[in-house]
A and B are shown apart, each in its own frame.
Chain A
Amino acid sequence: MVDRADTCAKKDGRKAMWNRELETLDRSSLEKLQMKKLEKTLESALRTRYYSRVFSDHGIDVARFRSIKDIAALPFTAKDDLRLSYPDGMCAVPRAEVVRMHASSGTTGKSTVIFYTMKDINDWAELVARCMVASGATREDVFQNMMGYGLFTGGLGLHYGAERLGCMVIPSAAGNTLRQIQLMKDFGTTIIHITPSYALHLGDEVSAQGVDPRELAVRKAYLGAEPYSEATRDKIENQWGLDAYNSYGLSEMNGPGVAFECIEKRGMHVWEDYYYIEIIDPVSGRPLPDGDEGELVITHLNREAMPVIRYRTRDLTAVIPGPCPCGRSHRRIERIKGRTDDMLIIGGVNVFPSQIETVLMKVPEVGNNYQIVLDRRENLDRIHIKVELYSKMFRGDLKELDNLKSRLARELQALIVVTPRIELLEPGSLEPSTGKAVRVIDSRKI
């Protein structure tokens, strides 16, 4: 394989880039490129059942758009819109053109599905390769991908990008700590892709085996899928003797590779030739200037199979004003500060309390009140679900109760991956659902 990352670094001291031309494009050319891509995106959006209806309802005349800023005339797209378009109301190409789908869990059972053509998969790999090179990765690296593979985009997204760059990829996926450690030792892993909480846990496990994590070859960690603090990054970096980089992505925008830190580690560059970003006031929906914290809204400018326009990510962040010393012209966003909704991230998996509620309320033996308690032990997320027994369904049998408990744990585990601890409570033990009952107690320190 040809080493595609430019090798200017060696010649003139500049850092390598995967696609120097596009990554350093001047702002005005970048905006023109965005406009060109928006036109194409809108054309393809009109081929979807969803956007053709929305545009006609709003009287949108795409032909009158003159600049990328005109995008503000378009309505926002919400996660619910994707859910309501299930399974393929937002697909813009014939089924034969689609080569892959991913899905993330919806708030009330139905998933949000994302489609990709071969070109989309290739483009995604290109963006991830950009991210990796921005963090200083080269084809010499051994990349151990400890994120979930499957419908979740975290695993496959980085996998394809790392292969594109030419790394040796170890698709170890999430979990199985002992095997992860063995693979790191035996194959000299230099980069890990991991959730921050699991990075801390894994470091502890390596130490427990009498090995200092710093003695392993791991030099970079890509941290994503869950929020964490700068203090946690410091802790991981010190524990492992590596550089940790923030990664941002969401399945609606492909998955990982939307924004990534360069070696400056001062915010995540958003690949603006692929994504048009806006920061809005989450309440009024009005745009906010660079530097102000608000909700991130993203338009995918480059996807054939599934255009998504002005998508409300529900993630809170701010655009960092001013250029980055690395020379990339693409603006940076700050680490994600929080959410505008009640989504929980448990061990890297996105979960809405309403999903847990849906599972609980389908079980007749369970009363109306429940409580979700999250904490972290040995750096792993634990979830504890307290449910009331419904008096009328009580049969006086201990075995039945034990079965109920394991049935609940099993059904919830299928949804949230982490096995919850179920606690059956007497009726009336919890605050009633009317009013502002505290349903979630999150005592994790991030």
Chain B
Amino acid sequence: MDQRWMRKLAIGALALGTVAIASGAAWSSTGQMEPAEQEWHHQGITGTFDKAAAQRGLQVYKEVCSACHSMNLVAYRTLADLGYSEEQVKALAAEAEVQDGPNDEGEMFTRPGRPYDHFKAPFANEKAARAANGGAYPPDMSLLVKAREDGENYIYALLNGYADAPAGHEVPEGKYYNPYYPGGNISMPPPLSDGAVTYQDGTEATRAQMAHDVITFLSWTAEPKLDERHRMGVIVVAFLVIFTGILFAAYRRVWKDVH
């Protein structure tokens, strides 16, 4: 009787798990195309960021995305995690002109960025961003990968998914057709085209390559502690499995003579 009972409970737990998955998936059921699965170096329990790809992705962000998209949560100093030296981080920060102040005369002034500054936003505020983008507000990119269902694959599909609208689909003035975007009409013009950037490491800058690289970078900005988390997780789970095994042996031993 006991075993049948356990089996039933297992089925129940399985069903409960299905509910959790289904409720998560419900979000994407708004009629748009499902993105295809891509390979990511940081996926899986031992996944780590591909730093070379993330560095290329930073270049794509700087030369393409940052014209419209802010990156408010990321400080230049954290770029050291992607393998940049202290000097390189200082140089990257110094490329930005940031406002500081007030000084002793009460005036605001600009100075070159320092490592502790956060990425400089392209627009002063949301109104300015909308005014420059036909009324649309380019979202901050810091958390974008975690703020979208299946973030990496969705953004990859979106960046590579621009197409001619099918017959009968009306695309309003100033919008672009993209079947992966909810509703199909997106305000962002196709941002990437082959050769849009010239990679310093000689990698060929195809659209797919740039999309892959910039998403690797965005995955890092959304979850900068992923490498540390995976590394620690493997050790913690390994410890817990062994420790639980010892506890099970102790349990069996203590209970040996109980009937």
A and B: partners?
no
Residues of B participating in the A interface, judged by any CB pair closer than 8 Å: none
